[in-house]
Structure 1
Amino acid sequence: MTRKTFEKKSSLIWVLLVDLFSILFCSMLSHFYVKGTFHLHDRYIIAIFTMSLAYFISALSDDDYSNWISNSVLSVIKSILASISFSAFVTVVFIYFLNESSNFDRYWISLSFLLSFTVLVIYRLISRLSLFYFQRKGFFRRNILIIGDNNSISSIGSRLRDFSNNSYTLASVIRIRSKNDAYDLVDIAEKIRLSGANEVWICLPLEMGGIVRSIMYALRNETIEVRYLPEFKDVRLLNHRVSEVVGRYAIDLSVTPMSGQARVLKRIEDLVIGSMILLLISPICIGIACAVKLTSKGPILFKQARTGANGQEVKVYKFRSMKVHQEKAGQVTQATKNDSRLTPIGGFLRRTSLDELPQFINVLQGHMSIVGPRPHALAHNEYYKDLVESYMRRHMVKPGITGWAQVNGYRGETDTLDKMKKRVEYDLWYIDNWSLWLDIKIIIATVFKGFINKNAY
């Protein structure tokens, strides 16, 4: 673990502890205001524990939550609101399923969450203002010397100005022209001392690795902090970060975010929300199943092989919307407007996405997620993988019933290469920025605008 990562995690743990204490305090204060006593019945203690646990899980899965210092005030407030809202949702559902609704004061529940949200926002704003005040006074300020080529120095210098609140100041630069030039690095330590820098940032592309090694050798007797910010020119990165593998540091260039804690959170989300949705839509599914059977010959469900997580093949369920027909081997023809293969209710099912409701069974089976890149036919994968950069990386996570591309308008027929490129671009953005709150945002967006689409035939 790098020192920066340790500092960030330590800060996150401290913030979480303060938040959880604030939720406990606000819940007890609300109980005193409503009931006139701080003595809590066991059911209220269980509710507060559920509330805190749900908030803890949501906060840990939200990158914006841990970046509360550098993010905008609006992002910070939205992050707190998302975690509090998720906590409230889980707590209310928990109380409902325990059939304890009549034993809880609704005013206490509402006041607890409202007061908690208010206290958390005020605490975060005061903390930010205090930190920025000390930064302006010169506390925590780090002077940076950049060693790099012209492009790297310009890029990093611009970002330093954009992130001026992060306590970094550009002290000086040392320009490296090309890997073929010879450099006298003997006096580099003296140049750094004269600059007054606290840190040295080496900002060079990987092809200049030999120069990086020479710089480190020149600084072998210095105690100044040195960081390497490699330049990955024209390399499409996915969920990139620095990790530790078998005791060695690794720069992850393309890895799935669905591992460890994130994988567990994603699975819990799928099981909880998927079970609730499947229970709610079961009458609709029964009605559609009857309609499919009565309006055309053939099975009710259509099962198609699709690519799942890590490239493994899965069977995806849909209500059959087309007449039974035989495709040529290795060919999958996309549905088009006024397609003659559609059943009498097939067009309606596809336009409203009702044909995809059986995929919640796939979710409970663990083959799909509620949110993720939409699965394409195997023939489409073979066709597009050499035409669209990083196309197959969308299969590093489970396919979803809905996704970031779909709620942004890239749903249905992809009759041009540009449409497929945009869909893949949105899919990769989702993978790179996944959080529990983003999934909830996509689910809500799907409810309001994702079901009916003019491009779905």
Structure 2
Amino acid sequence: MGTFDVRDMMKADAAASASPAMFGGSDKGQTRRFHPLAERIAAIPVKPTLSPVMIEGAARLLDLIAVLGTGGLIYWLYAAGKVEYTLPYQVTVAALALGSLAVFQALQLYPIGALRHFVGSGVRLVAGWTMLFLVALAAFFFLKIGDQVSRGWLIGFYFAGAGALLAGRVLTTAGVRYLTRTGRLERRTAIVGGGEAGEALIRALESQKDTGLRICGVFDDRNDERSPDLVAGYPKLGTIDDLVEFARRTKLDLVIFTLPISAEARLLTMLRKLWVLPIDIRLSAHLSKLRLRPRSYSYFGAVPVLDVFDRPIADWDIVVKWAFDKVVGTLALIALSPVMLVTAIAIKLDTTGPVFFRQKRYGFNNETVDVLKFRSLRNDMADHNAAKQVTRDDPRVTRVGRFIRKTSIDELPQLLNVVFKGDLSLVGPRPHAIHAKASNRAYEQVVDGYFARHKVKPGITGWAQINGWRGETDTEEKIQRRVEHDLYYIENWSVLLDLYILVKTPFSLLTKNENAY
């Protein structure tokens, strides 16, 4: 998706914005009426956005490579084989590489705004690099080790390093500008709360440069003069209930509340509806009379906000978890392929019908995914909608099916989901069937905030499973405990926790399988 402007869309669709349209879910069989512009925004194809944190990290890595690379190259061209000691050169290159990161960070050379503008950041970059070399020369003088490092090498390193750093910054600037033009650095944002506070916040955000925010509209539960239909040129698109559906369909990145902290009850009511979403939630402190220490705030340019919720597993954590899934998942798929082959043959010999069973389940952000399993039920009794859970001694389960369900071998084909499709993770909340129930009630009706478990990708195994909460959920307590464990995992994720769960899973299958039929 390229950039878009809601106000331009309003001008082009003035007639439609004056009449209601259908949007969102249903309420007692009736589809909720919603602003037509929300439908148009939701229909715009979106490309995955890149986190500014990741772009800044890539810029740091490029600078580090430039310094290390030029230092090593100039040494190889000028001093290799001609000097007695190599240690002073190695220490100097390493120290300048690390020092450059610290100095460039202090000179504010890594924020996205600086990466977009080459001239200003280029001047500061050369100034910082020069200062580093002056510090290095001073250190050589005071430590009386200047004769151990070639001056020719130092001069060559200085100029080559400056050139490499500037060349890297040119490439970074070009890349960031391209990503900006194509909308890959935008943060799709909704403002909660209209009136004067909402207008003041929008004006303040628009006065800042390089925030990357793309305001999609305003949402407010109020329907009186305190919340007009138009706020600073942006339309009020609906209520908080509408925002939940809108956020899922548009893959919203950020919600900013303009409500004062004094409106505690109203704020908490709204947050209870929104915290299930995989988005960042901030509280505007722009007009607040409460003044905290500067470090207590986050900032969009110079506009202060208070962090309320952060999207779990974000920025570089996403990259780490993706790499973990691909590498470990591929190794597991190779190692377990003989077991999968034997299982497929056994299923074919036991009953007629396909080897695999596909079922739609809830994935990340409530999106549906096709989960692949070995078929464990009789083909003529397949339950694609999970209308009836498998119970003890269920006649639908085949002889092979009973064994592979007890040992969770039926789940192994989901490694294909992990490695090739990427819609599952090795570790995460188990994906539930869309129509699954506990005590004849839908899971979301049993557990308050149930959909918060979908803030991350579902997994083949998880924290709930190794703690014994797997298999049939015939009581409300079982699904409640499972969701509690899923939320604990989301809030405490780390690579070490994923490794622990993977190592513990085989043992839990042997010792905690009383609910698996």
- Which category describes the TM-score, using the shorter chain as reference length? 0.3 to 0.5
TM-score normalised to structure 2 length: 0.42
TM-score normalised to structure 1 length: 0.47
Query: Rg bigger for which structure?
Result: 2
